[in-house]
């Protein structure tokens, strides 16, 4: 069976007829990194993408030369260093940003703030100037702060559109689907668990009660499963023992999100993904919930829906941390020059 990732993008695309529908111009900023390289490979492999521009402060000529030999139609070009960034962004429909340092054992995502906040602010400033209409997908952590930073940067430049700025939390959904499938002996490609809230520890809130197909767990197993989903990133950080955090599964998740977005931009109906976005669904000004995507980004926020008292408690307990991380990002962006 085709995976979720292969489904929208079809299989390999030799001889694929080009149509006006499949002409997404996508930029990856941080393209030489652990996430950036496999993500760029998956994007290059998709018939949805016609132009792939790769930016980093190192190694992009090599990554681009390598990818450009693959027999798919996306035109690949590498851009190196800040003076080449504007050219990388011009005309882009979608910009994906996995630039920045990853966690090492013992670190929280918030520990990355000092380095990654300015990287994200710098890159999104360039996006606001050179492709203000593009969909901006931020992977760089801490996502709970880097999305508010991006919003503030776009506001500063007078080009803010909350329907086009996304915190990529798809890996939490991918993990939840996989872990539920493992426990229940299901095909993971057929499991769908919404994950709401934010993208750090207790702010990651899987809604197992809304899983399709419907699954039931005794409370102790439910709590263990929920904890594993929340700490799955740390599981990878520990296993990599200092060599970084999730890269391959994140590349898969990032590509899944971009393909959903591009499908929706191309007019496909009923495309739903969870993402950390500007939100009025709770008292937190940014919050992830399932979103109906469309030609212009978020078409409709589908909200939290019916949840259990256990899930309600998690939402309530996430609020303080979410609001603090959001404020930290907003304060940083206000002082960023
Ligand atoms: N959203 C998620 O679910 C999720 C999951 C895993 C990792 N992450 C985050 O993704 C980020 C990248 O992780 P990684 O493992 O690929 O790290 P990495 O160190 O392997 O790669 C980062 C890349 O960013 C580049 N970079 C640094 N500063 C830059 C700048 N100013 N402009 C352009 N590029 C720059 C580096 O040269 C490097 O190639 C980290 O912040 C990590 O925490 C997010």
* pLDDT averaged over every residue in the chain: 94
Give the pLDDT confidence of 134-185 residue by residue, as tens digits: 999 999 999 999 999 999 999 999 999 999 999 999 999 999 999 999 999 9
Confidence of residue 22 (pLDDT cuts 50, 70, 90): confident
Q: How far apart, in whole angstroms, are the C-alpha atoms of residue 56 and residue 194?
A: 32
- Residue numbers in the known binding site for NAD(+) are 30-36, 56, 116, 139-141, 250
Same domain as 258, residue 247: yes
Predicted model pTM: 0.95
Question: What is the 21 CA–ligand 1 centroid distance (Å)?
Answer: 30
Same domain as 176, residue 276: yes
Same domain as 151, residue 178: no
pLDDT beyond 70 at 62: yes
Mean of pLDDT values over 201-226: 98
Q: Which of 203, 178, 34 is nearest to 103 (CA)?
A: 34
Instruction: CATH number of the domain at 253, please.
Output: 3.90.110.10
Question: Best mutation site among 32, 37, 40, 98 for ligand 1, i.e. most ligand atoms within 8 A of its Cβ?
Answer: 98
Looking at 101, 133, 168, the residue that finishes a domain is: 168
The range of the structural domain enclosing residue 112 comes to: 24-168
Q: Could you tell me the two tokens for 32?
A: 């030489």
Residue 10 falls inside a structural domain? no
Same domain as 214, residue 133: no
- Beta strand 24-29 with 94-97 is parallel
Q: What does the DSSP 8-state code read for residue 108?
A: -
Q: Find out whether 208 and 193 touch, Cβ atoms under 8 Å.
A: yes
Same domain as 307, residue 181: yes
Which single residue is written with the structure tokens 């990599």? 240
Exposure on the CB side of residue 252, measured as CA atoms within 13 A: 13
Question: What is the 174 CA–ligand 1 centroid distance (Å)?
Answer: 19
Same domain as 163, residue 191: no
Same domain as 122, residue 58: yes
Residue 35 falls inside a structural domain? yes
Report whether residue 100 contacts ligand 1, using a CB cutoff of 6 Å.
yes
Q: Which of 258, 255, 292 is nearest to 273 (CA)?
A: 292
Instruction: CATH number of the domain at 148, please.
Output: 3.40.50.720
Residue with CA nearest ligand 1 atom 40: 102
Enumerate the active-site residues: 199
Confidence of residue 21 (pLDDT cuts 50, 70, 90): low
Report the domain count for the chain: 2
Question: What is the 204 CA–ligand 1 centroid distance (Å)?
Answer: 20
The predicted structure's pLDDT at residue 6: 55
């Amino acid at each position: 069976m085709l995976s979720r990732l292969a489904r929208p993008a079809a299989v390999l695309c030799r001889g694929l007829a080009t149509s006006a529908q499949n002409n997404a111009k996508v930029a990856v900023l941080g393209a030489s990194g652990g996430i950036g390289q496999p993500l760029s490979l998956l994007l290059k492999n998709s018939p949805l993408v016609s132009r792939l521009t790769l930016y980093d402060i190192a190694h992009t000529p090599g990554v681009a030369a390598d990818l450009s030999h693959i027999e798919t139609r996306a035109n690949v070009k590498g851009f190196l260093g800040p003076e080449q960034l504007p050219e990388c962004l011009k005309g882009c429909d979608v910009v994906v940003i996995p630039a920045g340092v990853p966690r090492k054992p013992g670190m929280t995502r918030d520990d990355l703030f000092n380095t990654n906040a300015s990287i994200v602010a710098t890159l999104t400033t360039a996006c606001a100037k050179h492709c203000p209409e593009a969909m901006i997908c931020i992977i760089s952590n801490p996502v709970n702060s880097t999305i508010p930073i991006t919003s503030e940067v776009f506001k500063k430049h007078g080009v803010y559109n909350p329907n086009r700025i996304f915190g990529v939390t798809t890996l939490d959904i991918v993990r939840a689907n996989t872990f539920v499938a493992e426990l229940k002996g299901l095909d993971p490609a057929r499991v769908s668990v919404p994950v709401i809230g934010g993208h750090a520890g207790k702010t990651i809130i899987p809604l197992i009660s809304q899983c399709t197909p419907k699954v039931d767990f005794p409370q102790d197993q439910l709590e263990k499963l929920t904890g594993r989903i929340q700490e799955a990133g740390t599981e990878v950080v520990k296993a990599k023992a200092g060599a970084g955090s999730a890269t391959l599964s994140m590349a898969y998740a990032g590509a899944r999100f971009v393909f959903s977005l591009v499908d929706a931009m191309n007019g496909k109906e009923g495309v739903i993904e969870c993402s950390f976005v500007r939100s009025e669904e709770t008292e937190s000004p940014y919050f992830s919930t399932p979103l109906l995507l469309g030609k212009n980004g978020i078409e409709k926020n589908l909200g939290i829906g019916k949840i259990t008292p256990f899930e309600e408690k998690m939402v309530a307990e996430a609020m303080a941390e979410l609001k603090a991380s959001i404020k930290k990002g907003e304060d940083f962006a206000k002082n960023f020059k």
